[in-house]
A and B are shown apart, each in its own frame.
Chain A
Amino acid sequence: MITEHFPILLIVVPLTSALSTPLIGTLNKKYCWYTAIFSISLSLFMSLYILNAVMHTGRISYWLGNWEPPYGIEYAIDYLNSYVLVIVTFIALAVTIYSKWSVEKELPEKTVLFYTVYLLLITGLLGITITGDIFNLYVFLEITSLSAYTLVAIGKKRNALVASYNYAILGTISATFILIAIGYLYMVTGTLNMADLSTKLPPLYDSKVVLTALAFFMAGFSIKVALFPLHVWLPDAYTHAPSVVSAILAATSTKVAAYAMIRVMFTVFSPEFIIVRVNITHILSWIAAFAIIVGSVLAIAQVDIKKMLAYSSVAQIGYIMLGIGLSTKLSVTGGILHILNHALMKATLFLVAGAVIYKTGIRNIEEYRGLRREMPLTMLAFTIAALSMIGVPGTVGFVSKWYLLLGALHEGKWVFALVLILSSLLMLVYFWRVIENIYFPKMHVAVAMDGGDKKKELPYTMLVPILILALLCIALGILAFIPLKIVGMISQMLVG
């Protein structure tokens, strides 16, 4: 049946639509958007079907070319894979629906090329998530990174070019480190399949080659994930990119890199190696704690809203890494749940920031005064997402922070619990500045808008994705058992 080929079709459909977009674009520019919507909706449908199938039957394995692993490339899907797949395709669909008017306004003559590279980015992200072969992971990682460098460089101002160049240099260093680590692992085991590596590595845990491979992997993935202190490419790249690009990169690319790190750490190197023998998770949790504090403090100092959200992303990645670093069942649940939560919340925030820039061109927080009158629904979505980031009960952010707090207190590590509470307070500070300006302005400043209309909201294709994402922030916070069922199984599989 065609349904058993869904793993490979998940890659082929975005790839062929990415390469047919230039041909379609020569007919009419408007058809590119329809192509992108069609292919990403198809991918969302396939990934939901795969999630359903994995919940019922367990691990799915697809052999490319019907060559048996370890000789051939295998696509292996288990709970963690399908969870991240659904997140990526859903956020991609929301951002693509939003992108119609935003891309037309910001990049009028480059629309066809934008959609081509955007679909290639989606292909790369899906490929990283779905593959079970470690060299295939490197190839898809590079496809994602190259598309990301190009998309950041399309931005309007001159800063975008320098930001893209810095991102390119750092990204290439990280990918080459990962390539070196793959070479070391291949040298001692002779196989490239992830499941096969996990059975062949345990007798070799005492050798220095495996230790060096782990070191190179951690360094390479830390740059991709933007873990402090290797986060320096992230603020400039997210600030000066076009709004749609900031939204999709912030919501998905760091999360998928975090997924790849978890996959390599827990499946290729078993938990016994990283927790008991080398104890690198202990160091990871301390670095994550620093990342949380430094990211939140630096976010308070910003006046440009996109730069503030970028530094806030650095702090949120710290949460995921803290959950992984503490390595108990509760904290891993919190960390992996935070992948979903942060994707929803950050996508909403960046889309709202982009919408405000689309309507009024305002980027400075001080100039957000009185926007409640002009764009009421958009500001409501921003407030919901901000409350969710802070961790107000009833929203998704609260659930993941609760699990992380429980995990830290169960282990008796009260320092990390203190870090979590402190960071929530810091987040309250920098989000309250914006909310105060929106809802309680000290002086009523007339905001200049194009056309001079008083209460003009966004076009529907931009407004509906924002509202749906904000609604999900609340809905998944109240009905938290729906994602918790899957995440519970994931953490049972990883550290159980």
Chain B
Amino acid sequence: MDEVDEHVTVTGESVIVRPVEELYIIRRIIARIMVPLTQLYGLYVIMHGEGGPGGGFQGGVILGSATILYVLVFGVDEAKKRISESLNNLMKSTGVLIYAGIGLLCIIFGGYYLEYYALPLGHPEKASELGILGVEIGIGITVSAVMISIFFDLAERFEK
């Protein structure tokens, strides 16, 4: 149960300040249900990109929008406790480095750039599937990090 603070304001009145967790009950509960489901849906779209509509960019945008929903309901400071700025910067670079890294890995194993058939993962088609999946995951990480970062910058600017 959250504590209730009792403050004395400048004019001398006594005011009860409720912490933000007690306000907006409907929004909070629905956000608590929707955010994990949206993230799950985003991961589903990334993973099934090769067999159906979907892929890295679409799934990354959906993942980013889950965090944007969190920011809209709970505020920027709360969201920054979950995903800090430095983690965001790390995610932005990591995604593209995964993409370039898989391509260079194919060169190291003797093929051309992004020639998934050269990867030593058994069956050539299996290697192709896993290679494409790895590339899509990299794209998804970068896109979601960029969406979150853009939203953080805009939201902070107008709160001042």
Partner of A20, one of B86, B97, B111: B97
Contact B115 A66 (CB under 8 A): yes
Q: How many A-B residue pairs have CB under 8 A?
A: 44
- Of residues 96 to 130 in B, which have CB atoms within 8 Å of A's CB atoms? 96-97, 100, 103-104, 107, 111-117
Contact B93 A65 (CB under 8 A): no
Majority secondary structure of chain A interface residues (helix, strand, loop or mixed): helix
Give CA–CA (A180, B132) in the complex, Å: 29
- Of residues 14 to 34 in A, which have CB atoms within 8 Å of B's CB atoms? 15-16, 19-20, 22-23, 26
**Residue among A5, A12, A62, A65 with max Cβ neighbours from chain B (10 Å):** A65
Contact B89 A22 (CB under 8 A): yes
Contact B93 A19 (CB under 8 A): yes
Partner of B114, one of A2, A16, A22, A64: A64
Contact B93 A23 (CB under 8 A): yes
Contact mask for chain A residues 45-83; partner B; CB cutoff 8 A; 1 contact, 0 none: 000000000000000001111100000000000000000
Contact A65 B113 (CB under 8 A): yes
CB neighbours of A15 from chain B (8 A): 96, 100
Contact of A19 with B96 at beta-carbon distance under 8 Å, contacts A12-B104, A26-B86 already known:
yes
Contact B90 A23 (CB under 8 A): yes
CB distance from B100 to the nearest CB of A (A): 5
Contact B112 A65 (CB under 8 A): yes
How big is chain B's contact interface, by range? 10 to 19
Contact A63 B112 (CB under 8 A): yes
Give CA–CA (A5, B112) in the complex, Å: 7
Give CA–CA (A5, B111) in the complex, Å: 10
CB distance from B35 to the nearest CB of A (A): 27
Contact of A12 with B103 at beta-carbon distance under 8 Å, contacts A22-B92, A22-B93, A26-B86 already known:
yes
Contact A8 B89 (CB under 8 A): no
Count of chain A residues with a beta carbon within 8 Å of a chain B beta carbon: 16
Give CA–CA (A66, B86) in the complex, Å: 38
Give CA–CA (A247, B96) in the complex, Å: 29
Give CA–CA (A68, B107) in the complex, Å: 17
Of chain A, the residue at the smallest CB distance from B107 is: A5
Contact B89 A26 (CB under 8 A): yes
Give CA–CA (A95, B117) in the complex, Å: 41
CB distance from A22 to the nearest CB of B (A): 5
Contact B97 A19 (CB under 8 A): yes
CB neighbours of A63 from chain B (8 A): 112
CB distance from B157 to the nearest CB of A (A): 15
CB distance from B85 to the nearest CB of A (A): 11
CB neighbours of B114 from chain A (8 A): 64-65
Contact A12 B115 (CB under 8 A): no
CB neighbours of B89 from chain A (8 A): 22-23, 26
CB neighbours of B92 from chain A (8 A): 19, 22
CB distance from A360 to the nearest CB of B (A): 35
CB neighbours of B116 from chain A (8 A): 65
Of chain A, the residue at the smallest CB distance from B95 is: A19
CB distance from B55 to the nearest CB of A (A): 16
**Residue among B89, B112, B114, B116 with max Cβ neighbours from chain A (10 Å):** B112
Give CA–CA (A187, B92) in the complex, Å: 37
CB distance from B48 to the nearest CB of A (A): 22
Contact B97 A16 (CB under 8 A): yes
Contact mask for chain A residues 425-464; partner B; CB cutoff 8 A; 1 contact, 0 none: 0000000000000000000000000000000000000000
Give CA–CA (A40, B125) in the complex, Å: 37
Contact A16 B100 (CB under 8 A): yes
- 6 tightest Cβ-Cβ pairs between the two chains A and B: A66-B112, A66-B115, A8-B113, A65-B114, A19-B96, A19-B93
- List 17 A-B residue pairs with CB atoms under 8 Å apart, sorted by A's residue number: A5-B112, A8-B112, A8-B113, A15-B96, A16-B100, A19-B96, A20-B97, A22-B89, A23-B90, A26-B86, A63-B112, A64-B112, A64-B113, A64-B114, A65-B113, A65-B116, A66-B112
